[in-house]
Structure 1
């Protein structure tokens, strides 16, 4: 009996840790007693005892004839269906803060669920050289006085030149630097909307952005995003019915699907948003990985109804928290005032160093090296996926692939944890918490053949 109690305590502690780390999200169904007993090599009696302990701790709940489910510590009322989609509001769809902490904690580990390049792929030498140059004698002002509230003038001039290379005509005065692209998106959410406003978002999409918008008091209107881009018919109906203020989207190398809008799709999106007076927020965080000549909404629109946001953390290193936003002068002025009130200014030292990296062509050389490795990584992942009977929803490009597993990806993710691999299931990228068969795969971090073999075994066990 003592051994049984110890085993039950161990299983309960393991599951409690996964719940605490949000590896098991609120609403997730635990494996059935019989299934859990087989997976862990325990008796059904021991599994029941472990589940009872979790229930006593308030971590799970038993639903009659349905099993055990992870409880939501902060339950939110279900939004009522409206038209063809639900407008999500209230608390964030899951604990975004826990998700962010988990991402930061696992930064040193290669994982198929990871959101960045492996550290071994990056080269810090150009940034170190640029920092030394920025700290040379005569440059002490970068450390001793406040910076330009709009951002380092040299950097903004270089950014204007880079924007022109992808077809976006922007003066340096129309560019506002921020603490990463994250702050730019946060400034937009709080300055250009009012609590209660509706906002169009892609589904699937980036969960941290969902959480940011919800915390600003906004209602999310999910627009289905597939291999052909956003569902234009659904978007048109949502615009008619809800009059959304913003459409926050990733048009190039969409996260998580990896899809890029083509010209025809981009023009239709611009037409719908212009007719509905919807301001487009184009997040181009993965611009460095984009195929050549990828059309940007901001370029086609001429920044009339588009705010373009980007940064450099994904290709130069996550520690470089420098991003920027460009758009109409009146909108940039409003965002600049909010930045001034909340931050005063950003780091003149980091921005001047980044200007040096860009001006000397170091970023271009880094991107070329990364692109070569990514091309090989995508080819290997596509080959391994095909060998094990998997297919990507869109041709592999960029950093991420949207893999169709053929089974419930939430249950698949739970099983893969037992195999030692963390996965990113479809539920994670859905503002309406819709589950499905897809997982997001980081090509650079999914080179281990053991991962694909474990994925195939787990799918077979669920099928």
Structure 2
């Protein structure tokens, strides 16, 4: 019964779908025919399925609401991406979160946000109550255009679309370019919400092993040949979760492979402001021909002021603007005006310089504190908040996460980031969230 419910919740069986015959189901599941008869009868009584005498059993009613949890294998549910996100977002005061993906609130640009709010409160009433334009607040798009140029990405304001967040930016791109069943390449490991979002779009995700210099090019070429993907989604600057940086040589070869296979690349640049030295941007090398760059400011400025962007070729931006209207109408004018004011606040640059210095100091401290526990970084990232670390003795990070959660510490086990489930003994640490000595005390107690 649970197997059938799970397949319906995951939309593998939709309304009107015919279930396997009693005998086929019994053989498939390795149970007796009478067990399947009993299960089917109970599901009929619940109204989940219906019986057509002589024709078999069929899924009843309208399609069940999509359950992303049911799409994933049950064995991974306790530590899957949605579980980690919900544990972090719903954490009670006092919970320690070395596995979360954002800075502590005390590290954010609170003073600049307050100044921006005061400025807007004295401004025109339309700034506070009206819808935004389809492309978004022009002043912010001009600011973004100048910022992108510092990374070699030429994108006039007309080629930039503001979104409600970086996640919405990827969602809109997927709506534009994907059909259910299309294949999308992602890094293995990669930011775990990519997995959840692609499941929501009924896309098939295929992982490509990630190295300290970028994706494994042989594996990337093989995936292009074997799966004919539509998209490749990646981070180029500071990779999540590894902290690695794409090398120029890998970037050039990657773009050659993408061009030959006619695949679109979505480059997530959310950690740009955490770099000490700018990394290569695929969008810069490509000129936004087949690369779409997205980003947001929730990690550096404020997670409460939700605003992201898409930089792409003009015809795609036009179609994306239509999709934005269809799915969120006018967009968040207030958020974009707050960000425009904060980004042009002279103290933001100094604020981020201080954040980068604090992160560099925190990375070294956390590496030193983890060493006596036998936890070692996969590599030493040049910038950013993440350390991708291996546990001693090939321990199961999911078991460790469950044990630590009992003591009020939220971890991010490696297999939540890995499609191939090959990161069983890895954890992602956020060094900015490891200030409390209890993090290491709990780890030492449960290891």
> Is TM more than 0.5 here?
yes
Residue 170 of structure 1: which of 145, 149, 155 is its match?
A: 155
Distance 1:450 1:100, change over 3 A: closer
Residue 359 of structure 1: which of 330, 340, 344 is its match?
A: 344
Residue 119 of structure 1: which of 95, 105, 129 is its match?
A: 105
Residue 357 of structure 2: which of 351, 369, 372 is its match?
A: 372
Distance 1:369 1:322 in 2: 23
Q: Deviations over 1:258-297 (max 9, x none)?
A: 1111111111211111111110000111111123121111
Distance 2:142 2:182 in 1: 35
Distance 2:218 2:434 in 1: 36
Note the aligned Cα RMSD (angstroms): 2.4
Residues 131 and 350 in structure 1, CA contact (< 8 A), matched pair in contact too: no
Residues 426 and 439 in structure 1, CA contact (< 8 A), matched pair in contact too: yes
Which residue number in structure 1 is paired with residue 427 of structure 2? 439
Residues 107 and 355 in structure 2, CA contact (< 8 A), matched pair in contact too: yes
Which residue number in structure 2 is paired with residue 452 of structure 1? 440
Distance 2:153 2:92 in 1: 33
Measured after TM superposition, the shift of residue 431 of structure 1 is 2.4
Question: Is structure 2 residue 272 aligned with structure 1 residue 284?
Answer: no
TM-score (norm 1): 0.76
Q: Deviations over 1:74-131 (max 9, x none)?
A: 37689xxxxxxxxxxxx99986555443231128544111211011222422112112
SS at match of 2:209: strand
Which residue number in structure 1 is paired with residue 117 of structure 2? 131
> Matches of residues 26-425 of structure 1 in structure 2 within 5 Å?
74=70, 97-106=82-91, 109-137=95-123, 139-396=124-381, 397-406=383-392, 407-425=395-413
Q: Deviations over 1:39-97 (max 9, x none)?
A: xxxxxxxxxxxxxxxxxxxxxxxxxxxxxxxxx9837689xxxxxxxxxxxx9998655
Structure 2, unmatched stretches of 5+, are: 1-67
Measured after TM superposition, the shift of residue 442 of structure 1 is 0.5
Distance 1:77 1:286, change over 3 A: closer
Distance 1:231 1:92, change over 3 A: farther
Which residue number in structure 1 is paired with residue 418 of structure 2? 430
Distance 1:73 1:325, change over 3 A: closer
Distance 1:77 1:293 in 2: 39
Measured after TM superposition, the shift of residue 197 of structure 1 is 0.8
Runs of 4+ in 1 over 4 A off after TM superposition: 75-78, 91-99
Residues 206 and 256 in structure 1, CA contact (< 8 A), matched pair in contact too: yes
Residues 154 and 284 in structure 2, CA contact (< 8 A), matched pair in contact too: yes
Which residue number in structure 1 is paired with residue 4 of structure 2? none
SS at match of 2:70: coil
Distance 1:126 1:291 in 2: 22
Equivalent pairs, count: 375
Residues 207 and 431 in structure 1, CA contact (< 8 A), matched pair in contact too: no
Q: Which moved more, 1:397-406 or 1:418-427?
A: 418-427
Q: Deviations over 1:317-343 (max 9, x none)?
A: 210101101011111111111001111
Distance 1:226 1:214 in 2: 25
